Structure 1
Amino acid sequence: MADSRTRDITAPLEDKHPNERLKMGSRYLRGTIEASLADPITGALAADDTQLTKFHGFYQQDDRDLRDERRHQKLEPAYQMMIRLRLPGGTCTPAQWLALDDLARRYGDGGLRLTTRQTFQYHGVLKRDIKAALQGIDAALLDTLAACGDVNRTVMAAVNPHQSRVHAAVQRCAREVSDHLAPRTHAYREIWLDGERVDPDADEEPLYGPTYLPRKFKIGFAVPPVNDIDVYSQDIGLIAAVEEGELAGFTVCVGGGLGRTENEPATFPRLADPIGFCRPEQVNALAETIVAIQRDHGDRVDRKHARMKYTIDDRGVDWFREELERRLGWSLEPAREVQFAHNGDRYGWVEGDDGRWHYTLFIENGRIRDWEDYPLMSGLRAIAEVHDGEFQLTPNQNLTLAAIAPDARDAIQRLITDYGLERAERMGRLRRNAMACVALPTCGLAMAESERYLPSLIDALERRAADAGIGDTPIVVRMTGCPNGCARPYLAEIGFTGRGPGKYNLYLGGGFHGQRLNKLYRANIGEAEILEILDGLFRHYAAERQAGEAFGDFTIRAGYVAAVTAGRHFHD
């Protein structure tokens, strides 16, 4: 690793990863995107442009369910785009909700998806509709710039700024950091919004430079005792400290990240390390400086080793803190003690400090559409038409109807009841704490089902949990279709990552409030073995758990897996 670090900083551009050369020659993310859009022969963009459009907020995909059929018909794949919004803190007004709902039905697959980073995704957008969709998003005073790509992405923040003054202050910090770290290129407005054209040679990126970051970068703000954003999974995690009811500052954690590559032990998930404490007015300078350190020292040769977690793991936390304070010109205060209780959502009605009400809905795997027996999308549309507060997307793919005046609560409740949206009360504790990525049929990286499969697996697991006598015990379950970790499976008490059709790795021992990584228990197993293993584990847990002992803690104490004390030991 030491040799690669030296090479990363000093190697000529031609020796770095091809994406680095692509970014350098892209004219600040313009590439040939406009020519690709104008090509009527194909539903796809040029290959290089598919890398650049990630910075603009969307990925080119195809419907993998149709691949074989279209190949036999000698047709190109059913190309479509996944568009993701940049939505710091997950806040959306009712007017914006209605606009996004309309765009989903006009240009997408008819539904909305809430992501694990508190934002929206559209699926099924055709090339010919990309520009109209992005212009519709802009008209709603929202954007997709930097929702993907080698930049700082959507900044997460503890759910619901209306819950307290501290939550409101944290949300403001999240918005300020998001704006402060947003790319400055004019390409987005030129290409999608018909904005004034700027000579690319005169364009600039004061922070990112022409090659941007080595890989994606993620920031999140948490407010104890709830770790809903999984703060230790972030490149920069900021944990609020409260003094006399006001926001005093943040414990700063660095170096989190969950993605890894199967069968490559040099890649691993890692939890962020606390390095000190900063005041709210220092956050922007702190975040910018940390991003600049990663810009300058991150691996630009091997993209699998390019996240900041590896920069810190290779060089050490002490080196990172010293470099940060040297560049800042001031020292961090000592980190504060942090106490978290859980990382889930609180469903149903909750009253805020100011007397307004908030209602959190369960949205299974974040998928919002109308089903025959469940008109979820229509119900939320009806609520948006009368709601005068906000919609808050949660990091667990759920939705909070926020800032409801006391005299409006009954009207909102009637709509919730009329459309049958009170599902959380009827869901078991496993389902309420479960989460899945999109996976098949659209994600090109997926090796197995996730979103489409997890609900039926949860059905079977909940029956076994009930039979074991632990049906009312919350257990965090997460699944992804590949090892990349979008649904944060490596922090789950029970985690699954796809290995192939119907086959998964099973991980055990994550911390109930996101404080500990889990560990591989069985590799490449199917449903029958999964159910057999977990049935036995549930019964053992029911019989021998200690008072208040979480399931993940039990699997370590009972010897099923060893505790992972650092990411580099994930494979030990």
Structure 2
Amino acid sequence: MNKNGRESAAKEAKLHKNEGIKEASNFLRGTLAEALADPTTGNIGADDAQLTKFHGIYLQDDRDERSERRKKKLDKAYSFMIRVRVPGGVTTSAQWLAMDELSERYGNRTMKLTTRQAYQLHGVLKANLKTTIQGINAALMDTIAACGDVNRNVMCNPNPYQSEAHAEVLQLSQALSDHLTPATQAYHEIWLDGEKVAGGEEEVEPIYGKTYLPRKFKIVVAVPPSNDVDIYAHDLGYIAIIEDGKIVGYNITVGGGMGMTHGNAATHPRLAELMGFCTPEQAIEVAEAVVTVQRDFGDRTNRAHARLKYTIEDRGLEWFRKEVEARLGYQLQEAREFKFEDTGDRYGWTKGTDDKWHLTLFIQNGRIKDTAEFKMKTGLREIAKIHKGDFRLTNNQNLIIGAIAEADRPQIEKLISKFGLSAGLESSALRLNSMACVALPTCGLSLAESERYLPDLVTDLEQVVESAGLRDDAIVIRMTGCPNGCARPYLGEIGLVGKAPGKYNLYLGAGFDGSRLNRLYKTSVKSEEIVDELAPIINRYAKERESGERFGDFCVRTGVVTPYEAGTNYHEPMVG
């Protein structure tokens, strides 16, 4: 082997193992078809488990049952989570009913509305995977690229009738999703019995190439003054600039991301930066240029360092902008003025430009299910049976029943009342601004509870905020079971991140408008100690805050925490 060959081999040896899996996968096929056909286990091989993510599927097991099954020398209780893409969050009543039926027939009889405007089905057995995917396809939806090292579900404000600008933003979100969907036919071959690519026929991925991206990639579109998409948390963002009611273009943000690893100072959340401005006609080609620069320069040796945020942090925004402009063949304009005010949803009834009504319901942590006391899933099913409009998933795990004609509103209101679906709107502002990831028992990365615990924690904290006279004062609280940040906890005015069973790192001081990260206040706080830690700060806030001051701003102004500065150690507690 010559010198160049040895250097090439050495370089190849340094690549992360997932790069080899992608390279050898024949455009995401791997041995998935064979694994699905094996009736002897509910599991699939490790390499195929990586590839299923590109198809929108995660292998999981019920961690509540691990210990008992281990004692009985049984295999883990394997099942799969399926994530369904919903670019811009808008689905029809028929699609809602299809997801409801699939969750009842093949899942765990619940649906999860995710923090990225997607549906998730949990508890699907391997033997039912293909049938479930085909049911999703029959409802004119898909799961491809809902996970994996590609561009994932594109988010925006889901109400196209809030203004003409919102309608245009929804169209852009869907166009971005279409343009950046992988070209491989593997999804159709494996799940939908599509025609296989003929032997010898060359297949290409014109945007991604054979090994796709170094890591996942996320895009959002925002319409100021609402930052409901948490634009600074994402790889690529578009901020609509509106003049005289029309979108004249978009400010472009790049390099945001939430994930990190506990104790690893080289990993940290990062806010996106403004890169420039483009016209509406340029938005799609800008996205492709940003994606291909990350494809070519992102770190493929260390997945903890593979997101776009580290590419830009290492090389600089100016370098990145020049690379993007070189691929575009023109220079971006300078970013224009804009202002964000909050990151929350508009709850209750609103009337749109279409003269139809839209009802935003609070769905705690996005979980659609029936309990003995609250038949939420049944109630929404009954509405979907008669509703002529649509169902819209928000970026905060809530639900909009959209496009209700004036004449149809009474029958919708009757069902809302019958099933108590609007009861959540009477919750405290703290609860209405809460968000949690799934965590235990199904997420294999989770270190602590999140979805199952946050409602109880909020109940305990409500006693504090109500006694302090803050029941109607919005405070953003977010919780995750691990540091990967799926519920964007580092943008919570109160952020709680699982460290170990029953223990959380407590973060404070994020900006209410999503423009400032919070900071580690205390590490490894026991669940039973969280209220005691927060109560004095909340009470002080009630007494000492300035007019209009938000909780996160108060924590920074009074030195409860010092604001995080890029380049410093995000993992070290920084208190005043």
When the two structures are superposed, what TM-score results if normalisation uses the length of structure 1? Answer: 0.97
2:97 alignment counterpart: 98
Q: Does 1:538 align with 2:538?
A: yes
The structural deviation recorded for 1:567 is: 6.4
The answer to whether the 8 A contact 1:268-1:567 is kept is no
Task: Quote the Cα distance in structure 2 between the aligned partners of 1:10 and 1:537.
Answer: 56
Aligned residues: percent identity?
A: 56
2:67 alignment counterpart: 68
Counterparts in 2 of 1:126-165, with a 5 A limit? 126-165=125-164
Per-residue Cα deviation, 1:338-368 (whole angstroms, up to 9, x for no partner): 2111110111100112211100000000000
Say which SS state the counterpart of residue 374 (structure 1) adopts: coil
The answer to whether the 8 A contact 1:349-1:358 is kept is yes
Q: Does 1:519 align with 2:545?
A: no
The answer to whether the 8 A contact 1:27-1:200 is kept is no
Per-residue Cα deviation, 1:471-494 (whole angstroms, up to 9, x for no partner): 221100000000000000000000
Task: Quote the Cα distance in structure 1 between the aligned partners of 2:395 and 2:354.
Answer: 24
* Cα distance change, pair 76–49 in 1 and its aligned pair in 2 (3 A): same
Say which SS state the counterpart of residue 55 (structure 1) adopts: helix
Task: Quote the Cα distance in structure 2 between the aligned partners of 1:185 and 1:219.
Answer: 21
The structural deviation recorded for 1:223 is: 0.5
Say which SS state the counterpart of residue 371 (structure 1) adopts: coil
Task: Quote the Cα distance in structure 1 between the aligned partners of 2:543 and 2:443.
Answer: 41
1:28 alignment counterpart: 27
Task: Quote the Cα distance in structure 2 between the aligned partners of 1:92 and 1:215.
Answer: 28
* Cα distance change, pair 272–567 in 1 and its aligned pair in 2 (3 A): farther
Which deviates more from structure 2 when the two are superposed, residues 423-432 or residues 477-486? 423-432
2:13 alignment counterpart: 14
* Cα distance change, pair 9–377 in 1 and its aligned pair in 2 (3 A): farther
Per-residue Cα deviation, 1:412-470 (whole angstroms, up to 9, x for no partner): 11111111101233211111000000000000000000000000000000101111222
Task: Quote the Cα distance in structure 1 between the aligned partners of 2:213 and 2:319.
Answer: 20
Say which SS state the counterpart of residue 339 (structure 1) adopts: coil
Task: Quote the Cα distance in structure 1 between the aligned partners of 2:287 and 2:570.
Answer: 28
Per-residue Cα deviation, 1:394-422 (whole angstroms, up to 9, x for no partner): 01000001111121112111111111101
Counterparts in 2 of 1:289-308, with a 5 A limit? 289-308=289-308
Letter matched to residue 171 of structure 1 = L
The answer to whether the 8 A contact 1:271-1:567 is kept is no
2:287 alignment counterpart: 287
Structure 2 residues not aligned, in runs of 5+: 1-6
Say which SS state the counterpart of residue 299 (structure 1) adopts: coil
Per-residue Cα deviation, 1:304-357 (whole angstroms, up to 9, x for no partner): 000000000000011111111111111111101121111101111001122111
The structural deviation recorded for 1:13 is: 2.5
1:4 alignment counterpart: none
Q: Does 1:548 align with 2:548?
A: yes
Per-residue Cα deviation, 1:98-123 (whole angstroms, up to 9, x for no partner): 11111110100001100000010000
The answer to whether the 8 A contact 2:262-2:571 is kept is no
Task: Quote the Cα distance in structure 2 between the aligned partners of 1:264 and 1:533.
Answer: 25
* Cα distance change, pair 474–9 in 1 and its aligned pair in 2 (3 A): farther
Per-residue Cα deviation, 1:270-309 (whole angstroms, up to 9, x for no partner): 0100011111111110000100000000000000000000
Task: Quote the Cα distance in structure 2 between the aligned partners of 1:13 and 1:122.
Answer: 37
The answer to whether the 8 A contact 1:158-1:223 is kept is yes
Counterparts in 2 of 1:200-211, with a 5 A limit? 202-211=202-211
2:39 alignment counterpart: 40
The structural deviation recorded for 1:70 is: 0.6
Counterparts in 2 of 1:437-456, with a 5 A limit? 437-456=437-456
The structural deviation recorded for 1:200 is: 6.9
* Cα distance change, pair 11–341 in 1 and its aligned pair in 2 (3 A): farther
Counterparts in 2 of 1:160-309, with a 5 A limit? 160-199=159-198, 202-309=202-309
1:352 alignment counterpart: 352
The structural deviation recorded for 1:159 is: 2.4
* Cα distance change, pair 491–74 in 1 and its aligned pair in 2 (3 A): same
1:5 alignment counterpart: none
Say which SS state the counterpart of residue 461 (structure 2) adopts: helix
Extract structure 1 runs of 4+ deviating beyond 3 A: 8-12
Task: Quote the Cα distance in structure 2 between the aligned partners of 1:30 and 1:271.
Answer: 35
Letter matched to residue 11 of structure 2 = P
1:3 alignment counterpart: none
Task: Quote the Cα distance in structure 1 between the aligned partners of 2:311 and 2:230.
Answer: 21
Say which SS state the counterpart of residue 53 (structure 1) adopts: helix
Task: Quote the Cα distance in structure 2 between the aligned partners of 1:308 and 1:96.
Answer: 34
Say which SS state the counterpart of residue 566 (structure 1) adopts: coil
Which deviates more from structure 2 when the two are superposed, residues 192-201 or residues 238-247? 192-201
Task: Quote the Cα distance in structure 2 between the aligned partners of 1:155 and 1:568.
Answer: 31
When the two structures are superposed, what TM-score results if normalisation uses the length of structure 2? Answer: 0.97
Structure 1 residues not aligned, in runs of 5+: 1-7
The structural deviation recorded for 1:163 is: 1.5
Task: Quote the Cα distance in structure 2 between the aligned partners of 1:119 and 1:567.
Answer: 33
Task: Quote the Cα distance in structure 2 between the aligned partners of 1:108 and 1:537.
Answer: 42
Q: Does 1:473 align with 2:512?
A: no
Task: Quote the Cα distance in structure 2 between the aligned partners of 1:133 and 1:246.
Answer: 41
Task: Quote the Cα distance in structure 2 between the aligned partners of 1:12 and 1:563.
Answer: 39
1:403 alignment counterpart: 403
Which deviates more from structure 2 when the two are superposed, residues 463-472 or residues 152-161? 463-472
Say which SS state the counterpart of residue 26 (structure 2) adopts: coil
The answer to whether the 8 A contact 1:14-1:21 is kept is no
Q: CA RMSD in A?
A: 1.4
1:377 alignment counterpart: 377
Task: Quote the Cα distance in structure 1 between the aligned partners of 2:264 and 2:15.
Answer: 20
Task: Quote the Cα distance in structure 1 between the aligned partners of 2:91 and 2:535.
Answer: 41
Say which SS state the counterpart of residue 97 (structure 1) adopts: helix
Letter matched to residue 34 of structure 1 = A
* Cα distance change, pair 9–553 in 1 and its aligned pair in 2 (3 A): farther
2:3 alignment counterpart: none
Task: Quote the Cα distance in structure 2 between the aligned partners of 1:529 and 1:184.
Answer: 50
The answer to whether the 8 A contact 1:150-1:216 is kept is yes
Task: Quote the Cα distance in structure 2 between the aligned partners of 1:25 and 1:13.
Answer: 13
Counterparts in 2 of 1:44-55, with a 5 A limit? 44-55=43-54
The structural deviation recorded for 1:568 is: 5.0
1:493 alignment counterpart: 493
Task: Quote the Cα distance in structure 2 between the aligned partners of 1:504 and 1:510.
Answer: 17
Letter matched to residue 158 of structure 1 = N
Task: Quote the Cα distance in structure 1 between the aligned partners of 2:541 and 2:212.
Answer: 48
The answer to whether the 8 A contact 1:162-1:402 is kept is no
The answer to whether the 8 A contact 2:265-2:569 is kept is no
The answer to whether the 8 A contact 2:145-2:181 is kept is yes
Q: Number of aligned pairs?
A: 566
Task: Quote the Cα distance in structure 2 between the aligned partners of 1:424 and 1:69.
Answer: 37
The structural deviation recorded for 1:9 is: 11
Task: Quote the Cα distance in structure 2 between the aligned partners of 1:187 and 1:318.
Answer: 38
